[in-house]
Amino acid sequence: MVGNRKISPKISFDLTPLIDIILQLVIFFMITTTFKTSPGIVLQLPASQTAQSVATPELRVVVVSQNEIYVDKTKTDLAGLEPILRKRVSGSDAKQIRAVLEGQAGAEYQLIISVLDALRLNGIENVGLITRKNKVVQ
């Protein structure tokens, strides 16, 4: 008695080429991706002949408009700026805190002065203003 046995071929998939392609795609996307360090706003900084680089500041204040001010990455307005600064300064020596102020090139002068006043009222006197370098055309 001969049994009816079907001979079925053994099928195996070689996944090595697929894994190689996936790893290459992952590496490609990791290399080509860029990361933003700012809170995601585009500023047109004013030009300055004496602009210098500043080492990493402890406190960064970005002024876009009266209703859009960022302290580090916290969004606030001019009225809410003082409480945030007070909270940031509490528990440390305010004279040791270095602040960097970035302002939109077209921002009102009074707005920048109001932000500087808020910083000084909270004891932060070491404030630097960020500008961009003029491009020298020869």
Boundaries of every domain in the chain:
47-133
| Chosen CATH of 47-133 out of 3.50.50.60, 3.30.420.40, 3.40.190.10, 3.30.420.270 | 3.30.420.270
Place of tokens 């360090």: 37
pLDDT for the residue 6: 75
β-pairing, 59-65 vs 47-48, is unpaired
Place of tokens 């590496």: 27
Question: By three-state DSSP, how is residue 70 classified?
Answer: strand
Question: By three-state DSSP, how is residue 64 classified?
Answer: strand
Q: How far apart are CA 74 and CA 62, in angstroms?
A: 10
pLDDT for the residue 43: 78
Burial of 129 (0-12, 13-18, 19+ CB in 10 A): middle
Tens digit of each residue's pLDDT, the chain (138 residues):
566 677 777 888 888 999 999 999 999 888 888 665 656 677 788 888 888 776 544 789 999 988 999 998 899 999 999 999 988 888 777 777 888 999 888 888 999 999 999 999 988 888 888 888 877 666
Instruction: Give pTM, 2 decimals.
Output: 0.59
